[in-house]
Amino acid sequence: MRTGDQIVQDLPWRWNVQGKIFLIGGLGYMFDAWDVALNGFLTPLVGTEFGLSPGQKGLVATANLIGMAVGAIAWGTVADRIGRKRAFSITLLLFALFSALGALSPSLEMFLLLRFLAGIGLGGCIPVDYAIVSEFSPRRQRGRVLSAMDGWWPVGTTLAGVSATLLVPVEGNWRWMLVLMILPAVLLFWVRRGVPESPLYLVRKGREADARAVIDDLVSRTGATAEPYAIPPAVVEDTRGGAVTAAFDQLRRVWAFNPRITAVAWSLFVSVMLVYYAALSWMPSILRAQGFGEIAAFASTALMNAVGIVGVALAVLVVDKVGRKRVIAVAGPITAVTLVVFSLLLGSPAGAVVAIGAFGLFALVVIPVMYAYVSELYPTELRASGFGWASSSSRAVTGFAPLLFGSVLWPVLGLPLTFTVLGVLVVAAVVFMMVAAPETSGRELDRIADPAEPSPTTLAAAEAAATTETSGP
């Protein structure tokens, strides 16, 4: 007899069932992207209003990204303790509240504090959203679904770029940029209240009655054939201690689960996101320093983000056919190379804009596949916190990147050498992944590293044989 979580992962995909979870989760992810991208546009504008030096301008993005690092740790742990559903809604509400207050900031110090607090709320969106979407997705489509989740990222960053460009001539422009995000975020918070709790989470927590209610509803609504299934015993966890104790206990468990897998997850997140956030946070300022007008610099950055939509589409097309690891191994280093090329072509505005577009394309091929890959590497009881700690490790490092980039790396090393160093880190992380972590494509969640679980190659061969038999002469 199969288990309830296996039933969920073998259901047919339906847009009015799993697709609804994908859309609602993705919209939250869109706000994460919008807010992160907005840092690059806020940096020069806030810097002008408060008379900041280049080093001080880096604090604008740093405060927000460090808040996200704290949020990724806290909310990943909370989601594994209290459930995806409640964490799913609260994260966005906190973000909207502190963004609204941030728009009213009377001083730089208050602005930085409120951006930090907004980051704590929004930092939980990625690990919580990816956990709940992955746990509702059928395993045959999971790679495409999780990669498609990142399609919301260029949508969010493009909205940030377009709105910032349009608001440049408006007095108090950076304040209105923050206000513009608040209403749709609050509406999405209200919509999220109707999302059911993850059935895999309920199973692992031993909440059998609740789990069966959700699973039976999913079977009915997807039109799958009902069959008896078992609910395995709950996973016993030590839930003693406060929030800080719980967070660090989850960190211990994440590393104890499999040190090699966690090291791979962290190295991928840190290296790839360091390259991405460095470019995202400073691209408008780099272009302005090269003589681009403010509107032209903002519009070029918006173009970089918009091209990313094509990158996500490519990721969705190849992730299950090629495999997670191969896509990351190819697209990751190419992303870094495009930034080096961009820095060498700054004397040619047309060439620089083409290189910016190429960066936006390849960055949004590797990042969605990386997110899908890391979210699959951990078992259900550690999925949100494992992803959250990996995300937090990158946010902690990249949080200081805007500050270091503006005060040390760019002025001292220059752009070509700075981007080359970042690219070497990506290549090292990719090599480590290839030798130290498994492929996850096509496997059941919670059995990724189980040798008894058939490999993707075996699954593909079995499916091909079944097709041949049923289609016969």
Digit-coded pLDDT (tens) for 252-301: 888 998 999 999 999 999 999 888 887 877 777 778 777 777 777 777 77
Residue 457 has what pLDDT? 40
Residue 455 has what pLDDT? 42
Please check the confidence at residue 336 and state whether its pLDDT lies above 90.
yes
Residue 396 has what pLDDT? 73
- Fill in the DSSP letter of residue 32: H
Residue 104: how many CB atoms within 10 A of its CB? 12
Report which of 444, 434, 435 is spatially closest to residue 379, judged by C-alpha positions: 444
Please check the confidence at residue 327 and state whether its pLDDT lies above 80.
yes
Please check the confidence at residue 143 and state whether its pLDDT lies above 80.
no
Q: What is the mean pLDDT of residues 310-320?
A: 88
Q: Using CA atoms, how far apart are residues 343 and 454, in angstroms rounded to an integer? A: 46
> What is the tens place of the pLDDT at every residue in 425-462?
999 999 999 999 888 876 666 665 543 444 444 444 44
Q: What is the mean pLDDT of residues 136-146?
A: 83
Question: What does each C-alpha distance from 274 to 34, 46, 241, 283 come to in angstroms?
Answer: 18, 23, 33, 14
Please state the pTM of the whole predicted model: 0.68
3.30.300.10, 3.30.230.10, 3.30.2320.50, 1.20.1250.20: CATH of 4-224+242-468: 1.20.1250.20
Please check the confidence at residue 333 and state whether its pLDDT lies above 60.
yes
In terms of phi and psi (left: phi > 0; alpha: psi -120 to 50; beta: otherwise), the region of 194 is alpha
| The amino acid at 424 | V
In degrees and rounded to multiples of 5, residue 230 shows phi and psi of -105, 150
Q: Using CA atoms, how far apart are residues 424 and 418, in angstroms rounded to an integer? A: 10
> What is the tens place of the pLDDT at every residue in 84-132?
777 767 777 888 888 889 889 989 999 999 999 988 887 777 777 777 8
57 — pLDDT class (breaks 50, 70, 90): confident
Angle of helix 108-123 relative to helix 380-404, nearest 10 degrees?
A: 150
Average pLDDT, the chain: 81
Residue 428 has what pLDDT? 96
> What is the tens place of the pLDDT at every residue in 388-437?
788 778 777 777 766 677 667 777 788 888 889 889 999 999 999 999 98
Q: Using CA atoms, how far apart are residues 87 and 189, in angstroms rounded to an integer? A: 11
Q: How many helices (H) and strands (E) does the chain have?
A: 19, 0
Could you tell me which residue, 7 or 130, shows the higher pLDDT? Answer: 7
Could you tell me which residue, 143 or 207, shows the higher pLDDT? Answer: 207
468 Cβ neighbours under 8 A, 6+ residues apart? none
> What is the tens place of the pLDDT at every residue in 60-74?
878 888 888 788 777
Question: Which 3 state secondary structure label does DSSP give 439?
Answer: coil
Task: Using CB atoms within 10 Å of the CB of residue 291, give its burial: 0 to 12 exposed, 13 to 18 middle, 19+ buried.
Answer: exposed
Residue 454 has what pLDDT? 42
Q: Using CA atoms, how far apart are residues 304 and 244, in angstroms rounded to an integer? A: 39
Task: Using CB atoms within 10 Å of the CB of residue 106, give its burial: 0 to 12 exposed, 13 to 18 middle, 19+ buried.
Answer: exposed
Lowest mean pLDDT among 99-113, 190-204, 348-362: 190-204
Residue 330 has what pLDDT? 95
Could you tell me which residue, 124 or 316, shows the higher pLDDT? Answer: 316
Question: Which 3 state secondary structure label does DSSP give 3?
Answer: strand
Q: Using CA atoms, how far apart are residues 201 and 79, in angstroms rounded to an integer? A: 10
| The amino acid at 325 | K
218 near 20, Cβ under 8 Å?
A: no
102 near 115, Cβ under 8 Å?
A: yes
Q: What is the mean pLDDT of residues 157-164?
A: 85
Q: Using CA atoms, how far apart are residues 451 and 449, in angstroms rounded to an integer? A: 6
Residue 298 has what pLDDT? 79
User: How many percent of the chain have pLDDT more than 70?
Assistant: 88
Could you tell me which residue, 225 or 457, shows the higher pLDDT? Answer: 225
| The amino acid at 326 | R
Residue 96 has what pLDDT? 82
Residue 222 has what pLDDT? 93
385 near 82, Cβ under 8 Å?
A: no
Q: What is the mean pLDDT of residues 335-343?
A: 92
Token pair 């309920």 is found at 202
